[in-house]
Amino acid sequence: MTKDDTAHPDSDRMPTGDLEFAGEEDTTGQASPRKDLGSACVIGALAITAMVMSLRLDIPGNVFTAPGLLPFVTSLTLLLMAILLGLKAMQAGGARDFAGASRRATGTYLSGEEGRRTLLLITIITAYVLLVGLINFDLRLPTPLFVFRLSSYEVISIAVITLIMRLFWKAPLLRCFLASLVTIEFLAAVFRYAFGILMPESF
Supply the pLDDT for residue 108.
Answer: 74
More confident residue, 144 or 197: 144
> Under a CB-based contact definition with an 8 Å cutoff, are residues 182 and 135 in contact?
no
Supply the pLDDT for residue 31.
Answer: 64
Supply the pLDDT for residue 18.
Answer: 47
- Tens digit of each residue's pLDDT (9 = 90 or more) over 28-83: 445 688 788 888 888 999 999 999 988 888 877 777 777 788 889 999 999 999 99
DSSP type of residue 170: -
Average pLDDT along the chain? 77
Instruction: Answer yes or no: is pLDDT of 10 > 60.
Output: no
The answer to whether the predicted template modeling score (pTM) of the entire model surpasses 0.75 is: no
* Contacts of range 104-110, beta carbons closer than 8 Å, 24 or more positions apart: 105/38
Residue 92 neighbours by CB under 8 Å, 6+ apart: 33, 36
Residue 203: name the closest of 59, 77, 78 by CA.
59
> Under a CB-based contact definition with an 8 Å cutoff, are residues 150 and 156 in contact?
no
Classified as helix, coil or strand, 140 is strand
- Chain centroid, CA 187 distance in Å: 21
Give me the residue spans of the domains in the chain.
32-111, 112-196
Supply the pLDDT for residue 200.
Answer: 61
pLDDT > 70 in the chain, percent: 78
- Tens digit of each residue's pLDDT (9 = 90 or more) over 131-141: 888 888 877 77
Supply the pLDDT for residue 79.
Answer: 93
Supply the pLDDT for residue 115.
Answer: 74
Mean pLDDT for 3-11 is: 49
Measured CA to CA in angstroms, residue 45 lies from 50, 54, 75, 101 at distances of 9, 14, 10, 19
Instruction: Answer yes or no: is pLDDT of 9 > 50.
Output: no
Phi, psi angle pair for 141, to nearest 5°: -115, 105
| Paired residues of 149 in beta bridges | 140
Instruction: Answer yes or no: is pLDDT of 199 > 50.
Output: yes
Classified as helix, coil or strand, 149 is strand
- Tens digit of each residue's pLDDT (9 = 90 or more) over 85-123: 989 988 888 777 777 777 777 777 667 777 788 888 889
More confident residue, 17 or 79: 79
